[in-house]
Structure 1
Amino acid sequence: MGLSIKNDKCVLRGAEAETRDHLFFDYGFVRELWGDILTLFGVTRWVNCWDRELAWVVHCFKWKSLIVRVFKLDWACHVYNIWKERNSRLFGGKVRLVGDVLKDIKEAIQIRLKGWAISRANPRDDSLCVKWGIS
């Protein structure tokens, strides 16, 4: 008994095996998306494999600032939207641009933070709110 898979090639690209590392951080589309997300946070770093990105993100989640709250939401949105994009391509034949996926992630974060008491007195928090469209 088990699952029979005829093709293990990545749905997003088709050339390589679809592994966790490849799907979430090692493919041009998702590498660009994650890079764009990091840029919105003002972070400049090289995108690594799943294990290294996860370790870095867990390290960043230790504090309770606004940036950490947004980053937690963003991590979940990134993973969810990549999986959603994969399934859209696999089952619906629909392909979207990185900018469209990033827009969806920003909208999801804006909705989740709606109604939160956010002090914009801190210039860093204010800048974050502007970049993410958080009101």
Structure 2
Amino acid sequence: MLQLKPTLQNFIKCEVGDGTTASFWYDNWTDFGQLITFLGVAGPSQLRVRRSATVIEASRNGDWNLPAARSIKGQSLMVAHTELPAPVVSRGPDMFLWRKASGNYSHTFSSKETWEQVRHRSPMVPWAEIVWFKQHVPRYSFIAWLAMLNRLPTQDKLHRWGMNVPTSCVLCSSGVESHAHLFFECPFSTDLWGFLAAKFIPNPPCNLSAVVSWIASCNSPPQANTAAILKLLLTSILYHVWKERNSRIFTNAASTIHQLWTAVDRAMRDRLMSFTGPCLHSSLLLTYFSHVSPVSF
């Protein structure tokens, strides 16, 4: 018989029917949870019910068949059993229920409901909707997420970890490679970001936290399309900057700023044209095309 860990048992409750499936000691079928946890390892000997027993084995002829209580907890259990009917075949098979986020139980399992109860919720970070948004590209947002958390293995970080690596930025050769430098103190990445972002709002900031605040301020309905495009543009540029950095370090291949402008523009157009639904497709494309023309590259 499957014996689940107590932590998982907190999410499963058993409604005893005929008692032939539910474990007497390991299933959550009373208000005390797992009885092996409630009464302890001495419980099976105190109640004279073997550890592998099903609920039906603690009854006889439709009544509970348990010895007199020998502890305070045992007395509590006996009192509870006077109000709990013993298993009988006429009640049908035992039913296992899953706890919902509301605290109620249901016959159906929902991974979302269970995850909401298991997860540790942290305060929402201000950049969450900038990185994870409806139109996002997963690989772009993943790199953007790591960049926001300062978790990318930049050269300064590798050096602090004791690795013998050069710390200079391979994109500009004029500064120590760090998150702050790459996004966007580096002249190369600043040109990449600034040139494209300026087509939507003049004088875009060149600091990642300031960029996030700037894009968040555009989230009002009149600028919803612009905000969606700016989010996609930012995550795309973060991705392409990191990809170019890796290409120069690991393959010795370098792209010009013009080539990266073109690559980001192509990525933007491909993503915008991939959306389903004529309204969303047309409005976002129109917004982008009205600001960015291929001839500008």
Q: Which category of TM-score, normalised to the shorter sequence, fits these structures?
A: 0.7 to 0.9
Q: Is 1:85 aligned to residue 244 of structure 2?
A: yes
One-letter amino acid matched to 2:289: C
More helix as a share of residues? 1
Equivalent residue number for residue 172 of structure 2: 13
Whether contact under 8 Å (1:29, 1:98) holds in the other structure is yes
- The alpha-carbon distance between structure 1 residues 47 and 5, as it changes in their structure 2 partners (threshold 3 A), is farther
What is the rounded CA distance, in whole Å, between the counterparts of 1:4 and 1:25 in structure 2?
26
Q: Which is worse superposed, 4-13 or 15-24?
A: 4-13
CA RMSD of aligned residues (A): 2.7
> How many angstroms does 1:132 deviate by?
3.7
Equivalent positions of 1:39-50 (< 5 A) are 39-41=198-200, 43-45=201-203, 47-50=205-208
- In the TM superposition, what is the alpha-carbon distance from 1:119 to its structure 2 partner? 4.3
Which letter does structure 2 place at the counterpart of 1:49?
A: N
In the other structure, the counterpart of 2:215 is 57
Moved more, 20-29 or 43-52: 43-52
Q: Where do 5+ consecutive residues of structure 2 fail to align?
A: 1-159
Does 1:35 find its partner at 2:183?
Answer: no
The amino acid across from 1:100 in the alignment is Q
CA contact (8 A) 1:106 1:133 kept: no
Q: TM-score when scaled to structure 1?
A: 0.78
- TM value normalised by structure 2: 0.39
Instruction: Give, in angstroms, the shift of residue 113 of structure 1.
Output: 1.3
How far 1:35 moved relative to its partner? 1.4
* Matching residue within 154, 158, 161 for 1:3: 161
The structure with higher relative contact order (CA 8 Å, sep 6+) is 1
**How many residue pairs get matched?**
129
Residue identity opposite 1:84 in structure 2:
K
C-alpha contact 2:170 2:245 (8 A) present in aligned 1: yes
Aligned counterparts of 1:56 and 1:127: Cα–Cα separation in 2: 18
Any unmatched runs of 5+ in structure 1? none
SS in 1 for 2:173: coil
State whether residues 81 and 105 of structure 1, in contact with CA within 8 Å, keep that contact through their aligned partners in structure 2.
yes
Residue identity opposite 1:16 in structure 2: G
Of structures 1 and 2, the larger Rg is shown by 2
Going by fraction, where is strand more abundant, 1 or 2?
A: 2
